[in-house]
Amino acid sequence: MTVNQILDDFSKAFRKKIERSYSIRIQLEIRDIPDKIWQIDVSNGNVNVYSEEKITPEEIIIISGKEILDKLYKNEISALSAFLQRPEEKDDMMGALIREKNEPVGKDFISRMNIFTGFFSKDFPAKIIIDKKNCVKHNGGIDTIGLKTFGKFGQIFISVKKGETLYYPALGANIEINIYVIKGSGKLTAGNDECEIKEREYYYMNLQNCAEIKNTVNEEPLEAIVILQLPGR
């Protein structure tokens, strides 16, 4: 499919996901299609896509290649996974999607931008396929699928194999980490405290100390949904 066809399908689904009061102006660029831009103007319940410069964007999103756009369209990668993706060796990209700030106006921009990540899905309601082949590497190379962002927080799926540890630094007494274990078991460590975590149990705590989610002995991966503060937010 062409870029215009993909963005048109994204736009049709996004109209159903937003309220009329929602607005944002974004410019998309694709690294392997130089000299081309696409601008997305969302206002009054309408989603307009232009293949030329018509608006002043609040932010520019650079997609590392048309292949990533195709994967987003096929639900083979989520927008949050693309933002979390580690760079390849000898590659200066910080992810498959890169945000370049263009002096956004208003304190609500992060919230509006989080909503905009829902643009990169042709489905209503938006869906994400949880499949190991769709994972990206995150925080120590852990298999991860980004699910949703809301405010300063992100919701991710993790699969921690035997001998692996997912690590998060201390984020402050008012920052919570929430974990629901889907399958498997392991250990949750926070400072000097450690506890066993098990399938179908839910845990939450403040990140006053660094936290680690470990799969120390089990051959079966530890799979969980984690809600945490996103880096740089």
The per-residue pLDDT for 154 is: 84
Look up residue 65 and give its two tokens: 């290649």
Look up residue 164 and give its two tokens: 């692996």
End position of a domain, from candidates 96, 119, 142: 119
Domain presence at residue 206: yes
89 and 197: one domain?
no
| 221: containing domain | 132-229
The per-residue pLDDT for 49 is: 97
Domain presence at residue 60: yes
Domain presence at residue 126: no
Model pLDDT for residues 79-114, shown as the tens digit of each residue: 888 777 654 443 333 456 666 665 555 568 878 888
Look up residue 38 and give its two tokens: 């696409």
153 and 205: one domain?
yes
Q: E strand or H helix at 196, and its extent?
A: strand 193-198
Domain presence at residue 88: yes
What is the mean pLDDT, run by run of 10 residues, along the chain of 233 residues?
Answer: 96 95 95 94 97 93 91 88 59 52 64 89 89 81 86 86 86 78 92 89 82 88 87 52
101 and 11: one domain?
yes
Q: What angle do CA 170, 174, 176 make, to 5 degrees?
A: 70
99 and 56: one domain?
yes
Q: For residue 40, what is the domain's CATH number?
A: 3.30.1050.10
Domain count, the chain: 2
pTM of the model: 0.75
Calpha distance 146→134 (Å, rounded): 10
